Amino acid sequence: MAMLAEARMMTSHPFTRLAHPAPVAASVRTAALADPGFGKLFSDHMVTIGWTAGLGWHDATIGPRGPLTLDPAAAVLHYAQEIFEGLKAYRREDGTITLFRPQANAARFNASARRLAMPEMPEELFIEAIRQIVRADREWFPDVEGGSLYLRPFMFASEAFLGVRPAKEYKFLVIASPAGNYFKSGAPAISIWVSEDYTRAAPGGTGAAKCGGNYAASLVPMAEAIAHGHDQVVFLDAAERKFIEELGGMNLFFVFADGTLITPPLGGTILPGITRDSLLSLAADEGLAVREERYSLDQWRADAASGRLTETFACGTAAVVTAIGTVAGHDAAFTIGSGGPGQLTQRLREHLVAIQRGRAPDPHGWVMPVA
Ligand SMILES: *Cc1c(COP(=O)(O)O)cnc(C)c1O
């Protein structure tokens, strides 16, 4: 069955493989991989697939990574029709390369595409594109603690046209970036700044879509957080400016002394994180009471002060699970628990990482070997 499906997919979208004329020298690559950081180092290859009204998806290629040629009227440069995904590939000691829930990324990519009036991509093609780059760049996995190959599938409107309507031409690409730990300080817990002047997403807006525009809008509040000496920004709901939503690129969980966990509910303004969804399952597996429920800034502050709330953590693919130690805004500053990473935060992080890296059983079938 699986082979048949693959053969059929390959006939409908065969990948052209372009040889790389000058891959990075092994010695240079090895030196770079010793300290990859996050998002600054890139592998040798990229996938490109075109989409045109009428033709659909076509010209799937795996080839050398390099600059793109773009018409200056390309719609993405003017009206920001762009979406992306982020997922990690892991290389095990036996050389097997695995992905974590790539079907969920494919589904979310298509949900984002619908919201931005862009074409959807068949799940098998999305995953095959990732398989192609992971195989081509299998030497680009860093051996450092927490190392992975971070994959960035994305799509943008490439049609040259200045009228305002959905474009008729798109490009889909996948690039790969070797990654170490996301937070360079390696700090045990981060401090966050409450954005009271800016919001991230309004009801009916694009908050649930993974689009570049959401990030563009979060840069000023993020810069404000940094200017006040904090690591990240946390957003409140746009309607009442009362309830906690999420960070610029990570979802949030609140942990209570009685063992309950709360995470803000999805409802169009929160990005449906795959890490968030996975942690909801893991916590339920552990018998913890998990609730998707609105939680206000005032309540958060009061519960941290009373000790009813013991931990808060942020989660997302890049940084996995990160403890939040302190919270500050224009007129509020408080510490959560001891200000360091709490026990449940650490346990959930370790459990998730162990599943992702094949060191713990995978009862939900989340791990997909691809090479
Ligand atoms: C990608 C993203 C997340 C986390 O999603 P994961 O699937 O867990 O990586 C959270 N919030 C925002 C705004 C995001 O863009």
Token pair 């346990």: residue: 347
Ligand 1 pocket at CB < 6 A: 86, 210, 246, 249-251, 271, 273-276, 316-317
Q: Is residue 366 part of a domain?
A: no
pLDDT for position 345: 95
Residue 180 sits at φ, ψ, to 5 deg, of -105, -135
- Which ligand 1 atom minimizes the distance to the CA of 318? 9
Residue % of the chain over a pLDDT of 70: 95
pLDDT for position 104: 98
Q: Is residue 363 part of a domain?
A: no
Same domain assignment for residues 50 and 159: yes
Residue 135 sits at φ, ψ, to 5 deg, of -70, -40
Out of 140, 162, 181, a domain closes at 181
Domains of the chain: total:
2
pLDDT for position 77: 98
- pLDDT by residue (tens digit) across 92-106? 999 999 999 999 999
CA distance linking residue 306 with residue 302, whole number of Å: 6
Kindly report the CATH number assigned to the domain that includes residue 111: 3.30.470.10
pLDDT for position 3: 44
Does 7 have pLDDT greater than 50? no
pLDDT for position 221: 97
DSSP letter string, 288-354: --EEE---BHHHHHHHHHHTSEEEEEEEETTTEEEEEEEEEETTEEEE-TTSS--HHHHHHHHHHHH
Same domain assignment for residues 175 and 317: no
Going by alpha carbons, the residue nearest to atom 12 of ligand 1 is: 249
Domain that holds residue 302: 189-356
pLDDT for position 12: 66
Same domain assignment for residues 70 and 171: yes
- Tell me which of 88, 235, 271, 276 to substitute to probe ligand 1's pocket, judged by most ligand atoms within 8 Å of the beta carbon: 271
Q: Is residue 199 part of a domain?
A: yes
Instruction: Over range 332-344, report the average pLDDT.
Output: 94
Q: Is residue 27 part of a domain?
A: yes
Same domain assignment for residues 176 and 193: no
Same domain assignment for residues 115 and 242: no
Same domain assignment for residues 238 and 310: yes
Does 8 have pLDDT greater than 50? no
Dihedral angle computed from the Cα positions of residues 368, 153, 207 and 312, in that order, rounded to the nearest 10 degrees: 50
- pLDDT by residue (tens digit) across 105-148? 999 999 999 999 999 999 999 999 999 999 999 999 999 989 99
Same domain assignment for residues 331 and 285: yes
- Which ligand 1 atom minimizes the distance to the CA of 251? 10
Same domain assignment for residues 76 and 217: no
- Which ligand 1 atom minimizes the distance to the CA of 272? 5
* Residue 190 and residue 340 in contact, taking contact as beta carbons nearer than 8 Å: no
- Which ligand 1 atom minimizes the distance to the CA of 276? 8
Ligand 1 centroid, distance to 45 Cα (angstroms): 25
Q: Is residue 75 part of a domain?
A: yes
Closest by Cα among 272, 365, 364, 356 to 92: 356
Residue 320 sits at φ, ψ, to 5 deg, of 60, -90
DSSP, collapsed to helix, strand or coil, labels residue 77 as helix
Closest by Cα among 279, 282, 278, 200 to 246: 200
Ligand 1 centroid, distance to 251 Cα (angstroms): 7
* Residue 320 and residue 313 in contact, taking contact as beta carbons nearer than 8 Å: no
Average pLDDT across the chain, whole number: 94
Q: Is residue 368 part of a domain?
A: no
Q: Is residue 77 part of a domain?
A: yes
Q: Is residue 193 part of a domain?
A: yes
Same domain assignment for residues 124 and 220: no
Out of 181, 203, 227, a domain closes at 181
* Those residues with Cβ within 8 angstroms of residue 181's Cβ, 6 or more apart along the chain or in another chain: 38, 145, 146, 319
Going by alpha carbons, the residue nearest to atom 6 of ligand 1 is: 273
Same domain assignment for residues 15 and 111: yes
Does 251 have pLDDT greater than 80? yes
- pLDDT by residue (tens digit) across 168-224? 999 999 999 999 977 655 558 999 999 999 999 999 999 999 999 999 999 999 999
pLDDT for position 332: 81
pLDDT for position 182: 72
pLDDT for position 331: 80
Same domain assignment for residues 195 and 282: yes
pLDDT for position 13: 79
Out of 181, 197, 215, a domain closes at 181
- pLDDT by residue (tens digit) across 31-63? 999 999 999 999 999 999 999 999 999 999 999
Instruction: Over range 164-168, report the average pLDDT.
Output: 98
How many C-beta atoms lie closer than 10 Å to residue 340's C-beta? 15
Confidence at 89, pLDDT banded by 50, 70, 90: very high
Kindly report the CATH number assigned to the domain that includes residue 327: 3.20.10.10
Point out which residues pair with 99 in neighbouring strands: 89, 368
- Tell me which of 206, 251, 266, 320 to substitute to probe ligand 1's pocket, judged by most ligand atoms within 8 Å of the beta carbon: 251
Same domain assignment for residues 211 and 233: yes
Give the N- to C-terminal CA distance of the chain in Å, as an integer: 19
